[in-house]
């Protein structure tokens, strides 16, 4: 999305998070710097390893500051452990850099739960937001859509869902480039009477409020692939399972097709002829092209990269971070938070305490 607007921006990178860290993080930084001239990085991690990796990338040294971190958060660490014992970790120090203003955003491919917990404690909730949420975008038949929450909140109340809608719309405005995004609430049917009380009440509030997006109403699971709306809103339990169900089905199709093409010589030949077409499909669903989930609702931009991505994917996650900084994500939410059915606000505040 972003290009050439990055002069003077600085992104903090947790260089030790993810399966192939720190190599892909440093390579990803180089790629991102080439795409966004003027972009700078704070690289948190093992100083010796990082300096050696940075020196291999032409010109990268002048755009990065390597900041040594003693500790690394492991994927197996519980969020509570990471909070208590990871104060000198690359992840924590990278988040701290956003808090003290040295960086504009943080990107990590590390432990999701730990990143969420640390970011929440260090950066705290944006004013007016009850709960943060995790959002990402993905390919659909209509182009791209976003979904939240993806697991930050296992149980959600009405106010959470309404705020997710507001934050999701802001994300779609910046990342999907939609002036007035459409937003739908995931439900078991599209009629107003379907679903549990939480979903029904949230739907009513969204219908009645004059917010800066189009509330489409209830949407169903098959609307996700169709891309019926720009933003799918749901609780973190359902959202996590639904998005992973989509990912699993993608693997099912890839697996079935691979088996089919190996089933006969003719099929193999057909595959060779159609390879450019297949590659086009592969690019459309390439997870690297949709890398960069965001924790929304915090005082700061926190981007989670897939743990298993490569340098291209990591550079894309850095691009999302930059988009959110340049797009002034936090400020975009404020207007809608004020506009949102004022009667509901006191309840939201009560829910914080």
Interface residues with its own copies (CB under 8 A) are 78, 139-141, 151, 154-155, 186-188, 193, 195-196, 220-226, 234, 236-238, 240-253, 255-257, 260-261, 263-264, 266-267, 269-278, 280-281, 284-285
Please state the closest distance from residue 61 (CB atom) to its own copies, in A.
39
> Nearest Cα to 39, choosing from 57, 65, 14?
65
Least Cβ distance, residue 184 to its own copies (angstroms): 12
Is residue 305 within 8 A of residue 109, CB to CB? The reply is yes
Interior angle at CA 213, CA 211 and CA 216, nearest 5: 110
Distance in angstroms (rounded) separating the CA atoms of residues 132 and 126:
9
Q: Which residue is associated with the tokens 């930050």?
A: 152
Report in angstroms how near the CB of residue 186 gets to its own copies at its nearest.
6
| CB closer to its own copies, 147 vs 322 | 147
Q: Which is nearer to its own copies, 269 or 351 (CB)?
A: 269
Token pair, residue 231, equals 């933003």
**Minimum CB–partner distance for residue 232 and its own copies (Å):** 10
For residue 337, the minimal CB distance to its own copies (Å) is: 27
The nearer residue to its own copies, 104 or 230, going by C-beta atoms, is: 230
CB 137 within 8 A of CB 176: yes
Nearer to its own copies, 155 or 210 (CB): 155
Q: What is the nearest approach in angstroms of its own copies to the Cβ of residue 260?
A: 4
In the complex with its own copies, the residue whose CB is nearer, 244 or 338, is 244
**Residues listed for the chain:** 353
Nearest approach, Cβ of 150 to its own copies (angstroms)?
9
- DSSP, residue by residue, 252-283: HHHHHHHHHHTS-HHHHHHHHHHHHHHHHHHH
Closer by beta carbon to its own copies, 79 or else 300: 79
* Strand ranges across the sheet with 293-296: 64-68, 40-45, 10-14, 105-108, 301-304, 293-296, 133-140, 143-148, 231-233, 182-186, 214-219
DSSP code string of 12-57 = EEETT-STTTTHHHHHHHHHHHHHSTT-EEEEEE-HHHHHHHHHTS
> Between residues 50 and 82, which has the closer beta carbon with respect to its own copies?
82
CB of 272 to its own copies, least distance (A): 7
User: Smaller CB distance to its own copies: residue 140 or 316?
Assistant: 140
Nearer to its own copies, 23 or 285 (CB): 285
Residue 105, strand partner residues: 11, 301
DSSP states of 64-89 as a string?
EEEEE-SB---TT--HHHHHHH-TTB
The distance of Cα 267 from the centroid of its chain, to the nearest Å, equals 38
Minimal distance in Å, beta carbon 301 to its own copies? 24
Residue 2 and residue 39 in contact, taking contact as beta carbons nearer than 8 Å? no
């Amino acid at each position: 999305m972003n290009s050439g607007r990055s002069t003077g921006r600085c992104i903090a990178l947790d260089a030790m998070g993810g399966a192939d860290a720190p190599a892909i993080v440093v390579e990803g930084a180089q790629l991102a710097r080439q795409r966004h001239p003027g972009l700078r990085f704070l690289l948190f991690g093992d100083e010796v390893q990082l300096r050696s990796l940075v020196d291999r990338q032409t010109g990268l040294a002048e755009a990065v500051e390597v900041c040594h971190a003693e500790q690394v958060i492991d994927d197996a660490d519980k969020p509570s452990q990471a909070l208590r014992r990871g104060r000198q970790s690359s992840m924590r120090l990278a988040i701290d850099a956003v808090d003290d203003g040295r960086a504009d955003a943080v990107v990590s491919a590390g432990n999701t739960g730990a990143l969420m917990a640390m970011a929440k404690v260090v950066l705290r909730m944006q004013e007016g937001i009850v709960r943060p949420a995790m959002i990402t975008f993905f390919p659909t038949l209509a182009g791209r859509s976003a979904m939240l929450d993806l697991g930050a909140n296992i149980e959600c109340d009405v106010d959470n869902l309404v705020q997710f809608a507001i934050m999701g719309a802001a994300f779609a405005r910046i990342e999907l480039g939609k002036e007035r995004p459409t937003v739908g609430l995931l439900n078991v049917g599209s009629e107003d009477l379907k679903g549990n009380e939480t979903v029904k009440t949230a739907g009513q509030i969204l219908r009645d409020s004059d917010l800066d997006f189009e509330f489409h109403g209830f949407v169903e699971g098959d609307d996700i692939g169709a891309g019926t709306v720009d933003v799918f809103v749901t609780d973190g339990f359902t959202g996590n399972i639904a998005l992973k169900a989509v990912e699993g089905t993608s693997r099912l199709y890839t697996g079935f097709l691979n088996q089919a093409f190996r089933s006969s010589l003719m099929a193999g030949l057909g595959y060779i002829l159609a390879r450019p077409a297949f590659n086009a499909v592969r690019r459309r669903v390439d997870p690297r092209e949709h890398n960069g989930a965001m924790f929304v609702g915090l005082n700061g931009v926190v981007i989670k990269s897939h743990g298993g991505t490569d340098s291209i994917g990591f550079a894309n996650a850095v691009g999302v971070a930059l988009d959110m900084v340049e797009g002034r994500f936090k400020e975009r939410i404020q207007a809608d938070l004020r506009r949102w059915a004022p009667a509901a606000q006191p309840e939201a505040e009560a829910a914080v305490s």
